[in-house]
Amino acid sequence: MSDKRKSNLIKFYGIIFFLVISKVNSIQKFSEQPHYTEVNPNQDALLACKIIDRKGSCSWQKDNKPVGIYPKKYEWASGNSNAIGSQMHSSDCSLWIRKATLEFDDGFWECQVTASDFITQDALTSQPVKLVVRVAPQKPKLEHEGQNILPGSNVTVDAGAIATVKCVSHYGNPPAIIKWFLGDQEIAPLHPQINSSEPDNPKTWSATAVVQVPATKERQGMILKCLAFHEYYSARTVGVEAKMDVRYSPTIKLQGSPQIDLEEGKDSLTLRCEANANPPASIVWRRAGRPEIASLTESLQLRPVSRRDSGLYSCQAQNSVGTSDALSVQLDIKYPPRIIAAGPDRLITATLYSQAVLECIAEGNPTPTYKWVQRITSQGNVWLERGRESRLVIANVTYDFQGEYECRANNFINGQKRSSNSDTISLQVVGAPQVLRSNSSLYQVIVKRGESASLTLVVCADPRPRHVAWEWGSLKLEAGAGIGRFRVDDVTQDKREDCYLATLHINQADVQDSRPYYLVVENDRGADRHSVMLTVEGVFPETLGITYFLGITAVCAAVLLILICWCVYIIRNKNQNKYKATDKDSEKTDLKPRHDLIGVPHLEPTYATSSSARFHLPTQRNIIHGSPEAMKITHQYCDDLRQRLLLFRYHQNVDLNFRYNIG
């Protein structure tokens, strides 16, 4: 093929391509199609429809039927949309619908444009769009189990079940949008709402939404609300509501249980049995062990409490759904002790050294503790504890136990002590005398030498003592008597009943008075004897030197006496046959003891203490023989020696007592 021919073909195809491209660019198309539109009745609505490169004619269809242009009803938005002008590429086919009505204007609308030419076939038809002329729906209604829920009524369901509730809104256009709320919380429906046209008015709709609510006690009384949303409502929403009436069996709570002790006659108590139930429950109070009902109200009142109110109380609630468990409270009413009996009698007589039993019975809550006390009048009305049991057993009765007794019962209520005392019980002891030995300080008396000593003991006896005396050594002084430095008082009454004071006085006590002194008491039932130790102090250290000197002198005198006696014995043997019988008789007379010539005091052995040294001098009157002068000399030496020995014995006693006391 020649180059020229090729060039012509290229030109030809270029012209055809240019013509095709030009043709494509000139095809008319939508720049804006109509869309879903809502309008209130008697208001104007604009259905938009705009075309690019429009060359055809505009028209509209409603529900697949052509619609004409009518002044004041259907009008072009641009004035004359079918005129072909210089602005064909931006032609406007939008349509005004004046004073829209449900009957004529509600429906599906389409915008149509005819083809540019027969060959192009570029006619246009928009998607059908809904023009909705609004109609406000009726107020929604609730249905439960096929029954309408009237205003003020409830959705009644048992706890644990599921309440299925329907909300229906009729005759709305478009259909209302339904939402559910439980309290303030939005809840989801069982499935999306169902919209359906009304059979008697097909252009309006009913909207139906269903919700399922699990019934629990916590949802009792909550508000279930259905809200219908619609633009034609003045407030945009209209709602309907019902209260959840969840029925459940009672549960109870006990209020007012005492936290402290309740005291009889002082405190009051109110117990409350609060029931949580729907429908409301009836309350029953019962007391254990009793068939009758204690109360049929929520409150059980005890004003004031009494010991008879003690016991186990329980409350229970019941309604048409069921019965609650029972709750119990134990009441233990406290009361102070009260002594019922104490004895066996107000006056009890017991024999000395026998057994006596006192008993006390008391009531109280808590159980009382017991204490037996004895009044000690000798110590300023002091009470001495004798026992801590309800039964006081005195196994060995002495005069110490004679007197007045009280039984004391105690308990504690709220930390405070409560007490009750019995009438006094008098215990009288009869029997032989008994010298009381309870005070050890009475058993020993210590005085200085030269001071007066008083020895006192308490003796108890019933009947009264008929004989009271003090004894020491070989001496015995009756009550009311005296001898020398010793005097015994008459017995006097002690502070205690049937008890007496017996006192021995010793004036200017000396060392040799240190010894035990015995009190002897007798009555018609027997006797008793007890001692008091007297210790006389006051030997000074310089006395010891004199004692040693006298001791040495006494030893020397004893040696001298032995020598003299030996000499006398020899002389007597030589002159044995030279004396007459009359001389012998005079000799015997001269040999009698001459105690009255001794200058030292005569010391009765009964005054000496048990530690005193006792000296026994051998008597030689029956074996000594010689001249009267010799015998006189001998007796003088013997008397002098006896005097020295007695003086030595005296100082020995002083020394021994001094050492004993300072030791």
Read off the pLDDT of each residue in 154-169 and give the average, rounded to a whole number.
96
Quote the pLDDT of residue 98.
Answer: 96
Within a domain: 1: no
Q: Which pLDDT score is estimated for 303?
A: 94
In a domain, 6, yes or no: no
The verdict on 157 and 122 lying in the same domain is: no
One domain for residues 314 and 425? no
Residue 531 corresponds to which tokens in the numbers above?
């001692």
Whether pLDDT at 137 is above 90: yes
pLDDT digits (tens, 9 = 90+) for 85-132: 433 445 899 999 999 999 999 999 999 999 988 888 899 999 999 999
User: Of 214, 247, 280, which one is at a domain's C-terminal end?
Assistant: 247
Q: What is the pLDDT of residue 554?
A: 75
Which of 11-15, 307-311, 608-612, 645-649 shows the highest mean pLDDT?
A: 307-311
| Residue where a domain terminates, one of 84, 103, 133 | 133
Q: Say if 12 falls within a structural domain.
A: no
Reply yes or no on whether the pLDDT at 550 is more than 80. no
b/e per residue, 312-347, with b = 16+ CB within 10 A? ebbbbbbbeeeebeebebebebbbbbebeebbeeee
Residues 558 and 522 in one domain: no
pLDDT of 81 reads 56
pLDDT in tens, 236-281: 999 999 999 999 999 999 999 999 999 999 999 999 999 999 999 9
Residues 307, 371: one domain?
no
CA distances from 620 to 330, 554, 586, 592 (A): 105, 20, 16, 11
CATH number, domain containing residue 205: 2.60.40.10
Q: What is the mean pLDDT of residues 491-517?
A: 93
Query: Higher model confidence: residue 588 or residue 247?
Result: 247
The tokens of 466 are what? 């008929």
- Answer yes or no: is pLDDT of 612 > 60: no
Radius of gyration of the chain (CA): 71
User: Do residues 103 and 214 both lie within one domain?
Assistant: no
Nearest to 49, CA basis, from 97, 85, 86, 84: 97
Mean pLDDT score, 298-305: 95
191 and 167 both lie in a single domain: yes
Kindly state whether residue 557 falls inside one of the protein's structural domains.
yes
Q: Are residues 642 and 594 in the same domain?
A: yes
On whether both 623 and 657 belong to a single domain, the answer is yes
Nearest CA-CA partner of 311 in 333, 292, 326: 333
Task: Determine, yes or no, domain membership for 4.
Answer: no
Asked if residue 16 is part of any domain, the answer here is no
> 100 with 155, same domain?
no
The pLDDT, as a whole number, for residue 601 is: 36
pLDDT digits (tens, 9 = 90+) for 387-441: 999 999 999 999 999 999 999 999 999 999 999 999 999 999 999 999 987 665 5
- The structure's pTM equals 0.58
Domain-embedded: residue 212: yes
Q: What is the pLDDT of residue 9?
A: 67
Query: How far is Cα 95 from Cα 599, in angstroms, rounded to an integer?
Result: 177
Specify whether 553 is located in the same domain as 657.
Answer: yes
| Contact residues for 595 (Cβ-Cβ < 8 A; gap 6+) | 602
Which is more confidently placed, 606 or 209?
A: 209
Answer yes or no: is 3 within a domain: no
Tell me the mean pLDDT in the region 590-615. Answer: 34
Domain count, the chain: 6
What pLDDT score does 381 carry?
82
Name 415's Cβ contacts closer than 8 Å, sequence gap at least 6. none
Cα separation, 218 vs 224, in Å, equals 14
User: Do residues 91 and 199 share a domain?
Assistant: no
**Domain encompassing residue 217:** 141-247
Q: Which residues contact 372 (CB under 8 A, 6 or more apart)?
A: 358, 360, 385, 386, 387, 388, 389, 392, 405, 406, 407, 408
Residues 356 and 446 in one domain: no
pLDDT exceeds cutoff 90 at 83: no
Q: What per-residue string of b and e applies to 481-490 under the rule 16 or more CB within 10 Å gives b?
A: eeeeebbbbe
Does residue 148 or residue 657 have the better pLDDT? Answer: 148
**Per-residue pLDDT, 440:** 54
For residues 208 and 211, what is the distance between their CA atoms, to the nearest angstrom?
10
CA 445, CA 477: separation in Å to the nearest integer? 19
For the residues 366-381, what does the mean pLDDT come to?
Answer: 91
| pLDDT above 60 for 616 | no
Provide mean pLDDT across the span 596-617: 33
As a whole number, mean pLDDT of residues 138-148 equals 94
What is d(CA 392, CA 407) in angstroms, rounded to the nearest whole number? 9
For 547-589, give the DSSP string. Answer: HHHHHHHHHHHHHHHHHHHHHHHHHHHHTTTSS-HHHHHHHHH
> Which of 407, 430, 453 marks a domain boundary?
430
Q: Whole-number mean pLDDT of the chain? A: 83
Q: Is the pLDDT of residue 624 over 70?
A: no
pLDDT at 372 over 70: yes
